[in-house]
Amino acid sequence: MSEQTLAEIGEFGLITRIEELVARLAPGEQVLVGPGDDAAVLRVRNGHVVVSTDLMVEGRHFRRDWADAADVGHRAAAQNLSDLNAMGGRATWLTVGFAAPPALPAQWALDFTRGFAEECALVGAGLVGGDVSSSDQIVISVTVMGSCTVSPVLRSGAQPGEIVALAGRQGWAAGGLAVLGRGFRSPRKLVDAYRRPEPPYDAGRAAAEAGATAMIDVSDGLLADALHVARASGVAIDVRTEAFEVPEPLVAVGAATGADPMSFVLGGGDDHSLLATFPPDAALPEGWLEIGRVSQASADGPAVTVDGEPYDGPYGWTHF
């Protein structure tokens, strides 16, 4: 199998192998019908149903010489699981659309599935279906579904005077990307952080239960995603750099590349940390760090500042 290509194994052969792989994983009691039919059948319990979709395109979101198939699977799952985490919810089911060149080794697709399923297992979610097709490059589309047992936390609820807080690692994946972009593989901790992020999967629900008023998954960059919250809420956000303790690996990469290590923290995405706002008297849940404040929006001032001043560095990733 390891030497067969997708063209040799065929669409239905690949689907059969994926179904066999997924069948060995516990789908959960809420999955009534999993892969193999025209659609999955799922049992919905009390609460709100939440759904999100993300794309990963080879050469744009990942490179096969920078991450192996299982790593890409972990990343594809993590970015979708984190979206529901950012609503205060929990993922339960995922479907995957997978398109690839016919000459791609079939084992790559199976290793991707294994990594994807391993990441889903961290939150008890199951892969319940999807589709495969051919294309000139690998394209992965993931839809995640789940539920919120409390009211979903939107981006639009921040109010002046509130606390801005962060949960999870921030800037590590950006440091790893900078290293890989220079053709290196160390510091290994940063490269591994890029290949397999570690989202704080319990932090979203904890924040919702603690009264978070707005929340977002930091996938594009800390300042870029803070800007999404500021604009959706009609407020201004100031981030304080003194709140961060920049880890030694980022300091080392900054010294090697001539970059300010704080730029990785402020502009980096792909760690899938969570950014949220809380009432000023709220007790922050364990794992959350206060990093700034919300203020009244100014008619002509920037919506996001750093240490009270406009920031002229990169805010984060842009798709176009």
Q: Is 257 annotated as a binding residue?
A: no
Q: Is 136 annotated as a binding residue?
A: no
Read off φ and ψ for residue 152, nearest 5 degrees. -60, 140
Q: Is 220 annotated as a binding residue?
A: yes
Q: Is 111 annotated as a binding residue?
A: no
Q: Is 53 annotated as a binding residue?
A: yes
Q: Is 83 annotated as a binding residue?
A: yes
Q: Is 281 annotated as a binding residue?
A: no
Token pair recorded at residue 123: 């939150």
Q: What secondary structure, in 3-state letters, does 18-76 show? A: HHHHHHCCCCCCCEEECECECCCEECCCCCEEEEEEEEEEECCCECCCCCCHHHHHHHH
Q: Is 155 annotated as a binding residue?
A: yes
Q: Is 202 annotated as a binding residue?
A: no
Q: Which of 158, 288, 301, 316 is nearest to 223 (CA)?
A: 316
Q: Is 121 exposed, middle or buried (0-12, 13-18, 19+ CB in 10 A)?
A: middle
Residue type, 194: Y
Q: Angle at which helices 69-85 and 188-195 pack, to 10 degrees?
A: 70
Q: Which residues are annotated as a binding site for ATP?
A: 130-131, 155, 219
Annotated binding site for Mg(2+): 38, 52-54, 83, 131, 217, 220
- Known binding-site residues equal 38, 52-54, 61, 83, 130-131, 155, 217, 219-220, 270, 317
Binding-site sequence positions for substrate: 61, 270, 317
